[in-house]
């Protein structure tokens, strides 16, 4: 469940079973053990977790159900009340899941909880491979930011990173397994570079994010590298300038905004004002006109007045961004925003939903406008495996436009040059192959 980082870690945890006498099956199948890597960013994620537990129990009422991840870490007592859950492992213990299962640390109708975050210095490398066309590679974990609405620092701990040489080695390993695109992921990837130093006894900055992207760009392997979400204050102009000339990194940015009103940004304890955000978007458009720029926005934050919301709406409307991911504010236990609901003013659900809908409509307008500007251009698409016997094969351009062409099995997991022709009603670009040569096939 949840973020790309969870996906990378789930894939790594799944591979740990390969050494033992387990047979992995689809989560939708009958199984003896079900493992759910949970999310706790919003209340809806926790509700979805409970639905998944019920679904697993419906398939096999005698199954052992293991809860891992952020929900299990943050609120193990609450998770233990969910009927069917047998074993709860936090964000450190989850990588030892096979040991717990092999040693019998569970009993039917009883709960075993191992979820204490022992320290904030341990780092567990992770990447996905073999599950999807692209690979998600974890480069960083944890967060030192204290945004007033966010519980992730409590579940993930302090910011810490993978050593640079290890990342370069993993990129080569993944590429040599036939993967054409790698997504760099973490909790706060722009803060990359803090490594635990045994001599000093704490996480010390040995690298910067700029150091990392420069080193990655020098690798010989012809692989596409995509960035996941990065904070606007950490996406320095020097990084944008470098990425505009990169041989490896694709023109795709996801930069969370959260609010277009500076008063609300201060209440959220974000580390920038909207002027910095606008400067970053303007810089990207100046140097990489065709870049995809996605954003995150929270609506209905405590104290967000109608004027504050309009500030956000009109700020986003004038920005040349490509799409929005809209979250309705969800109070998280032990965060500062909980107390703000009393002091600043609770926003009623009906108002939150209206604001969410307004921004979803704006996002759709932005996306179609962005795509229309790409019509009649040549792009390179990484096509995915077709698992539904459809008449089309789908993939993404380097600048993250969902694209389809008539199905051809030769195109699965390949990079192919195409000509973008028109966009359909679902927002998918219809394209024509413009050469028979498959790139890196």
Q: Annotate 119-176 with three-state secondary structure.
A: CCCCCCCCECCCCCCCEEEECEECCCCCCCCCCHHHHHCCCEECCHHHHHHHHHHHHC
| Nearest-angstrom CA–CA distance, 146 and 160 | 15
* pLDDT at 310 exceeding the cut of 70: yes
Q: Please check whether residues 80 and 183 belong to one and the same domain.
A: no
What are 271's two structure tokens?
A: 């580390």
pLDDT (mean) for 404-425: 92
- CA 4 from chain center: how many Å? 4
Average pLDDT, the chain: 90
**Based on the domain organization, do 59 and 151 belong to the same domain?**
no
260: domain CATH number?
Answer: 3.80.30.20
Work out whether the CA dihedral 148, 276, 370, 440 comes out positive or negative.
negative
**pLDDT exceeds 60 at position 440:** no
Residue 188 and residue 275 in one domain: yes
Decide if 81 is inside a domain: yes
Asked if the structure places residue 83 within a domain, the reply is: yes
The percentage of the chain sitting over the pLDDT mark of 70, rounded to a whole number, equals 93
Q: Of the residues 333, 349, 372, which one is the last residue of a structural domain?
A: 372
Residue 351 belongs to a domain = yes
Confidence band of 109 (pLDDT split at 50, 70, 90): low
Residue 286 predicted with pLDDT over 90: yes
Residue 50 three-state SS: helix
For 338, the domain range is 135-372
Q: What whole-number distance in Å separates Cα of residue 249 and Cα of residue 224?
A: 6
pLDDT value at position 26?
87
Q: What angle do CA 118, 119, 125 make, to 5 degrees?
A: 100
Is pLDDT at 107 greater than 80 in this prediction? no
The whole model's pTM is what?
Answer: 0.91
* 310 and 333, same domain (yes or no): yes
Same domain as 142, residue 64? no
Give me the long-range contacts of 21-28 (CB less than 8 A, separation at least 24). Answer: 27/56, 28/59
pLDDT at res. 434: 84
Last residue of a domain, one of 81, 114, 147: 114
Confidence of residue 74 (pLDDT cuts 50, 70, 90): confident
Q: What is the percent of the chain where pLDDT is above 90?
A: 61
Q: 386 with 284, same domain? A: no
Q: Choose the most confident range, by mean pLDDT, from 165-174, 189-198, 427-436.
A: 165-174
440 assigned to some structural domain: no
pLDDT value at 441 more than 50 = no
> Which pLDDT score is estimated for 118?
59
DSSP codes of every residue in 16-34: GGGGTT-----TTS--SEE
- In a shared domain, residues 139 and 97: no
In a domain, 419, yes or no: yes
CATH code for the domain in which residue 394 is found? 2.40.50.140
Outline where DSSP puts E strands in 207-272.
224-227, 252-254
- What digits encode the pLDDT tens for the residues 187-202? 999 999 998 776 666 6
**278 and 178 in a common domain:** yes
- Which of 85-89, 332-336, 374-378 reaches the highest mean pLDDT? 374-378
| Beta-carbon count within 10 A of 74 CB | 24
What are the percentages of helix, strand and coil residues in the chain, rounded to 5? 35, 20, 40
Q: Does residue 17 belong to any structural domain of this protein?
A: yes
Question: What's the total number of domains in the chain?
Answer: 3
Residue 356 inside a domain? The answer is yes
Range from 76-80, 109-113, 148-152, 396-400 carrying the lowest mean pLDDT: 109-113
Q: Are 19 and 46 in contact (CB under 8 A)?
A: no
**Domain CATH number, residue 63:** 3.40.50.280
- Same domain for 81 and 9: yes
Distance CA 418, CA 403 (A): 9
The reply to whether 122 falls in a domain is: no
Report the pLDDT averaged over residues 47-74: 91
| Residue 280 clears pLDDT 70, i.e. is over it | yes
Q: Are residues 393 and 422 in the same domain?
A: yes
Task: Give the per-residue pLDDT at 274.
Answer: 97
262 pLDDT higher than 70: yes
Q: Once rounded to an integer, what is the mean pLDDT over residues 122-139?
A: 85
Identify whether residues 84 and 151 lie together within a single domain: no
pLDDT at 133: 81
40 in Cβ contact with 68 (< 8 Å): no
Rounded Cα distance between 205 and 195, Å, is 6
147 and 54 in a single domain? The answer is no
């Amino acid at each position: 469940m949840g973020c790309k980082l969870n996906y990378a870690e789930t894939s790594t945890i799944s591979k740990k079973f390969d050494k033992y006498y387990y047979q992995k099956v689809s989560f939708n199948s009958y199984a003896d053990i079900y493992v759910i890597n949970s999310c706790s960013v919003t209340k809806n994620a926790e509700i979805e977790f409970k639905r998944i537990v019920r679904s697993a129990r419906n398939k096999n009422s005698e199954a052992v159900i293991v809860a891992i991840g952020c929900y299990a870490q943050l609120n193990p007592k609450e998770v233990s009340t969910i009927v069917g859950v047998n074993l709860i492992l936090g964000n450190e213990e989850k990588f030892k899941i096979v040991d717990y299962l092999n040693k019998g640390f569970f009993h039917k109708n009883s709960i075993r909880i191992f979820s204490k975050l022992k320290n904030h210095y341990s780092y567990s490398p992770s990447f996905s491979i073999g599950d999807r066309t692209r690979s998600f590679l974890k480069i960083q974990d944890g967060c030192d930011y204290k945004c007033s609405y966010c519980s992730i620092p409590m579940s993930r701990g302090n910011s810490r990173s993978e050593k640079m040489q290890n990342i370069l080695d993993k990129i080569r390993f993944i590429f040599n397994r036939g993967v054409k695109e790698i997504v760099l992921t973490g909790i706060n990837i722009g803060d990359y570079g803090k490594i635990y130093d045994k001599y000093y006894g704490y996480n010390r900055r040995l690298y910067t994010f700029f150091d990392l992207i420069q080193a990655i760009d020098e690798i010989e392997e012809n692989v596409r590298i995509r960035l996941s979400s990065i904070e606007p204050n950490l996406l320095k102009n020097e990084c944008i300038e470098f990425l505009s000339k990169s041989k490896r990194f694709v023109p795709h940015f996801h930069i969370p905004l959260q609010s277009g009103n500076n008063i609300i940004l201060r209440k959220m304890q974000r580390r920038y004002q909207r002027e910095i955000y606008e400067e970053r978007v303007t810089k990207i458009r100046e140097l990489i006109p065709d870049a995809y720029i996605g954003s995150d926005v929270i609506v209905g934050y405590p104290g967000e007045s109608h004027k504050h919301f309009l500030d956000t709406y009109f700020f986003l409307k004038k920005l040349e961004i490509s799409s929005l991911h809209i979250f309705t504010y969800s109070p998280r236990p032990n965060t500062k925003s909980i107390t703000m609901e009393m002091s600043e003013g609770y926003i009623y659900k009906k108002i939150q939903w209206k604001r969410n809908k307004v921004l979803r409509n704006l996002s759709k307008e932005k996306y179609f406008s962005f795509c229309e500007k790409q019509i009649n251009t040549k792009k390179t698409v990484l096509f995915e495996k077709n698992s539904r016997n459809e008449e089309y094969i789908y993939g993404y351009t380097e600048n993250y436009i969902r694209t389809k062409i008539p199905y051809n099995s030769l195109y699965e997991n390949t990079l192919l040059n195409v000509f973008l022709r028109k966009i359909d009603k679902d927002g998918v670009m219809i394209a024509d192959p413009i050469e028979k040569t498959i790139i890196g096939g």
